[in-house]
Chain A
Amino acid sequence: MATVSLTVNGKAVTATIDPRTLLVQFLRENLRLTGTHVGCDTSQCGACLVHLDGKAVKSCTTLAVSVDGASVTTIEGLAAGDKLHPMQEAFREHHGLQCGFCTPGMIMSAVDMVNRRGHELDEKTIREDLDGNICRCTGYHNIVKAIAAGAEAMGKAGTPLRQAAE
């Protein structure tokens, strides 16, 4: 067993876990933060994306114990209380989700994309940059629109590029 201490969505958590616990298992099973999903075994679908010290990573391919001391933001920690993050708002406004299963990962990916590439994202950039996220419902059409709009809204709202929680 190993002890791991993390800051998750701004809150300090400490737990004793089996070293083979993946970060996604730690979030879902220990912390019951079930917004982060598992959609594949090969680190490709991106349903498990969380921000680790401000950068999007695949929590299904990260050992919880190896990120001891880090700050993790999950989809549950993205909104500021009742106020949705502009990217969450954009996904709803532009119908960027259907079944909702890939959505947390998509939104975390989109915010990370803005962090890396800024507020003006063209369609080509968004499509190429989404190659770590798979959606089976939307055909990506509205996800692309949502991300472009969300990126712009983040700029206008002055949303800090790295979330406060991170």
Chain B
Amino acid sequence: MYAFTYHKPTSARQAATLLAKKEDAKLLAGGHTLLPTMKQRLASPTALVDLGACADLKGISRKGRNLVIGAMTTHAEVASSAEVQEAIPALAFLAGSIGDPHVRHRGTIGGSVANNDPAADYPAALLALGATVVTNKRKLTAEEFFTGLYETALDEGEIITKVSFPLVSKAGYAKFRNPASRYAMVGVFVAKRGSDIRVTVTGAGEGGVFRWPEAEAALKARFAPKSLDGLKHTAKGINGDIHADADYRAHLIGVMTRQAVAQATGK
């Protein structure tokens, strides 16, 4: 690691002030992407603003037909939350599948969403569930928020404060893990809210998380795994690497979508 100065504000407002004041400052949430990158000397922020003491960024609550999760809520907290398990069980399941138990004790939803790693799980859930990313400055839909590989609509000095998930009638998540890293090689989140059906894919897209309109259309007729029979995702625009080329990943998108729908429908 290169040297940096360390700051620990106690509120999002203080954090924003610090972030604005320090040049090349970065926010530290759970640290499970940033710190390894800094250890490899691939990132060299001159200041770290640790959000760990910002109580206003934590917590899970139901607000009417929405589930609201504070940005600094850990994956373990989301996974084990009775509130989440009741409201959107697939979201709890997803959070409980991120990394390993120890990573889940530190990693946060805000950190994951802000990083927009193409192999991260949360972006699929946000996009499928039609979530809203709330920052210290504005509200963004998931579509507006995720703009590309490791790219988001966040401006300099903007801090995610919470993510709001509208409730759905059915949802499911299935992923095929990269055998080495255990990140999502293909992760598919399906959600049904009345006739609004969304199928989102993480881990596989050259440009990060994306929706699969053909599958959404097929599921509109009947929300069941069988509706997807014969449906294949194209390999165009799909990632290839040493673990999985584009064809195989494209195939897995179909398999994972069927599994996710099966989970959502309790089959």
Cross-interface CB contact of A43 among B28, B36, B50, cutoff 8 Å? B36
Minimum CB distance partner of A41 in chain B: B39
B161 to chain A, nearest CB (A): 20
- State A109–B105 Cα separation when bound (angstroms): 12
Given contacts A49-B102, A62-B31, A66-B50, contact A42 B36 (CB under 8 A): yes
- Whether the Cβ atoms of B31 and A63 lie closer than 8 Å is yes
Measured CB to CB, the nearest residue on chain A to B47 is A19
| B-side interface size class | 20 to 34
Q: Mark interface residues in A57-80 (1 if CB within 8 Å of B CB, else 0).
A: 110011101101000000000000
The B interface is mostly helix, strand or loop, or mixed, namely mixed
Which residue of A2, A20, A41, A66 contacts B40 across the interface (Cβ within 8 Å)? Answer: A41
Using an 8 Å CB-CB cutoff, how does the interface string of B48-61 with A read, 1 for contact, 0 for none? 10101000000000
Q: Which residues of A contact B35 (CB under 8 A)?
A: 22, 61-63
Q: Are A56 and B105 in contact (CB under 8 A)?
A: yes
- A41-B36, A56-B102, A112-B101 known, 18 other contacts, Cβ within 8 Å: A19-B3, A19-B4, A19-B48, A42-B181, A43-B32, A56-B101, A56-B105, A58-B103, A61-B31, A61-B106, A62-B31, A62-B35, A63-B50, A65-B50, A68-B8, A116-B101, A129-B101, A132-B102
Interface residues of A (CB under 8 A from B): 2, 18-20, 22, 41-44, 46, 49, 52, 55-58, 61-63, 65-66, 68, 109, 112-113, 116, 129, 131-133
